[in-house]
């Protein structure tokens, strides 16, 4: 069992990473005495794959639990599903001594976490992330929320879980496309904080793609360690946490301009390349680094260029509409070298034009 801590004073919490840990969750929760009983919230696909395992684990430790499901997909990350889940908890008479388990990908985590933060003004919750993206990114750091028609993630809270349990074994059933998307975020950590990890991902590519448990455990652990360190330093994203947005400013715009037909991870890969090209054009990063980033993304079958059919005009508009734009200034996270980035809003419009062209 590997365990690390997200250090946030009294709200610190452990991240357990262990192959097969889904079966032992009840035991650990019983020892931690986080809540009397748990409502497991999962999408229907993940519920049918892993709901029983988690329920049985709770039962074996004599903890009450039940499963509530919602339809798979981003469309469920909505105010209406949020409302339905809150009402279901109320009907089942959940109170402040009870808790929520978010089981699934980032959609379950964000949605169930948001419910936990609002229901009765906040009840404890635990994350069991099952997609690679959720295991290395969304389950750690406490951002919760839902989408509204006016924009993604526009309604939400910062609300930290009490514990995160990661079982790399569940990735066996994750669709390959989703796995590859998650790898974009993994590569991101190498670029922003850890050149050695970047090299590891290059060297162990075959093992990663074959889901070698040892190697997957290592990449999840390293990714979570980096995210946990950054979050512990700047929980509410007033400063350093923004480096996690590397590749996301242009990535989000590409995702939106494609009408979400390009999945998040692939859009982030495109955004990471665009950002390093900006850095090269500004003269703060070498072309060698740009080439290294492009090559690694390609080795993981991730796209590195904006598809020709997407409107550049539209992408530019989406960049300016990003919710992180402050008084018209777009902040870019730009690599200086592998493992080192800066945040700057000083990028000539001409450079953006050239990179998007
Ligand atoms: N809170 C944060 O910090 C944060 C960070 C990044 C992304 N997000 C959010 O995360 C969401 C995307 O997360 P996602 O990509 O995990 O989406 P998701 O939750 O929809 O999961 C993707 C798909 O994989 C399936 N799935 C998940 N685990 C599986 C498994 N082990 N086996 C088989 N199928 C499995 C799901 O049913 C779903 O169909 C977005 O809403 C995004 O905004 C949040
Ligand atoms: Zn992302």
Ligand 1 atom nearest the C-alpha of 45 is: 37
The answer to whether the CB of 237 is under 6 A from ligand 1 is no
Rounded mean pLDDT for each run of 10 residues along the chain, 357 residues in total: 92 95 95 96 98 98 97 97 98 98 98 98 98 97 95 95 97 97 98 98 98 96 97 93 96 95 97 98 98 98 97 94 80 97 94 93
Look at ligand 1, atom 6, and give the residue with the nearest C-alpha: 138
**Active-site residue flag, 241:** yes
Spatial CA neighbour of 103 closest among 165, 10, 168, 176: 165
Which residue out of 51, 127, 138 has the highest number of ligand 1 atoms within 8 Å of its CB and is therefore the one to mutate? 138
What is the chain's Cα-based Rg? 20
Ligand 1: centre distance to CA 107 (Å)? 5
Burial of 71 (0-12, 13-18, 19+ CB in 10 A): exposed
State both tokens at 130: 């099952």
CB-CB contact of 192 with 247 (8 Å): no
**Active-site residue flag, 245:** yes
CB-CB contact of 24 with 88 (8 Å): no
The DSSP bridge partners found for residue 101 are 40, 126
The DSSP bridge partners found for residue 163 are 126
Contacts 24+ apart (CB under 8 A), 167-170: 167/18, 167/19, 167/20, 167/21, 167/22, 167/128, 167/130, 168/17, 168/19, 168/135, 168/211, 168/213, 168/216, 168/217, 168/220, 169/19, 169/20, 169/22, 169/213, 170/22, 170/49, 170/50, 170/130
In this prediction, residue 76 carries a pLDDT of 98
**Active-site residue flag, 227:** yes
**Residue labelled with tokens 């295991």:** 135
Instruction: Give the span between the Cα atoms of 356 and 313, in whole angstroms.
Output: 9
Ligand 1 atom nearest the C-alpha of 110 is: 1
In this prediction, residue 322 carries a pLDDT of 79
Look at ligand 1, atom 23, and give the residue with the nearest C-alpha: 105
CB-CB contact of 168 with 17 (8 Å): yes
Look at ligand 1, atom 3, and give the residue with the nearest C-alpha: 138
Put simply, whether the predicted model's pTM sits higher than 0.85 gets the answer: yes
In this prediction, residue 327 carries a pLDDT of 78
Handedness of CA 173, 14, 66, 82 (dihedral sign): negative
Instruction: Give the span between the Cα atoms of 161 and 139, in whole angstroms.
Output: 8
**Active-site residue flag, 16:** no
Pairing state between β 163-166 and 13-17: parallel
Spatial CA neighbour of 185 closest among 297, 268, 241, 302: 268
Length of the chain: 357
The answer to whether the CB of 106 is under 6 A from ligand 1 is yes
In this prediction, residue 323 carries a pLDDT of 74
Q: Which residues, including other chains, have CB under 8 Å from residue 341's CB and lie 6 or more apart?
A: 191, 192, 243, 246, 333, 334, 335
Active-site hit among 77, 245, 255, 277: 245
Ligand 1 atom nearest the C-alpha of 152 is: 43
Distance spanning both ends of the chain, measured CA to CA: 48
Instruction: Give the span between the Cα atoms of 275 and 278, in whole angstroms.
Output: 5
Q: Which residues, including other chains, have CB under 8 Å from residue 266's CB and lie 6 or more apart?
A: 180, 181, 184, 302, 303
Ligand 1 atom nearest the C-alpha of 181 is: 15
Question: What are the DSSP calls for 238-285, one per residue?
Answer: SSGGGGGGTTHHHHHHHHHHTTT-S-HHHHHHHHHHHHHHHHHHHTSS
């Amino acid at each position: 069992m590997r365990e690390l801590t997200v250090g946030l004073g009294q709200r610190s919490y452990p991240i357990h990473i262990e192959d097969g840990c889904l079966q032992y969750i009840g035991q650990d929760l019983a020892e931690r005495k986080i809540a009397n009983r748990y409502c497991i919230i999962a999408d229907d696909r993940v519920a049918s794959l892993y709901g029983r395992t988690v329920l049985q684990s709770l039962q074996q430790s004599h903890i009450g639990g039940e499963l509530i499901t919602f339809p798979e997909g981003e469309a469920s990350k909505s105010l209406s599903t949020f409302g339905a889940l809150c009402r279901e908890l109320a009907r089942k008479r959940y109170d402040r001594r009870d808790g929520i388990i978010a089981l699934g990908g980032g959609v379950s985590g964000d949605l169930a976490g948001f419910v936990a933060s609002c229901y009765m003004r906040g009840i404890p919750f635990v994350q069991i992330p099952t997609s690679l993206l959720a295991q290395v990114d969304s389950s750690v750091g406490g951002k919760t929320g839902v989408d509204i028609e006016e924009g993604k993630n526009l309604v939400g809270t910062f609300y930290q879980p009490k514990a995160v349990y990661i079982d790399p074994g569940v990735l066996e059933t994750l669709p390959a496309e989703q796995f590859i998307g998650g790898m974009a975020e993994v590569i991101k950590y190498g670029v922003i904080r850890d050149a050695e990890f970047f090299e590891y991902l290059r060297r162990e590519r075959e093992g990663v793609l074959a889901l070698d448990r040892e190697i997957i455990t290592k990449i999840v652990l390293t990714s979570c360690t980096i995210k946990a360190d950054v979050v512990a330093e700047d929980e509410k994203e007033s400063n350093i946490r923004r480096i996690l947005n590397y590749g996301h400013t242009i990535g989000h715009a590409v995702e939106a301009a494609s009408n979400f037909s390009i999945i998040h991870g692939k859009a982030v890969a495109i955004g990471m390349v665009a950002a390093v090209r900006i850095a090269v054009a500004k003269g703060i990063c070498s072309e060698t680094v740009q080439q290294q980033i492009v090559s690694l993304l390609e080795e993981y079958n991730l796209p590195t260029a904006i598809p020709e059919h997407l409107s550049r005009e539209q992408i530019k508009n989406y960049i300016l509409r990003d919710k992180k734009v402050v008084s018209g200034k777009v902040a870019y996270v730009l690599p200086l070298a592998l493992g080192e980035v800066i945040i700057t809003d000083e990028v000539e419009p001409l450079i953006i034009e050239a990179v998007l062209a």
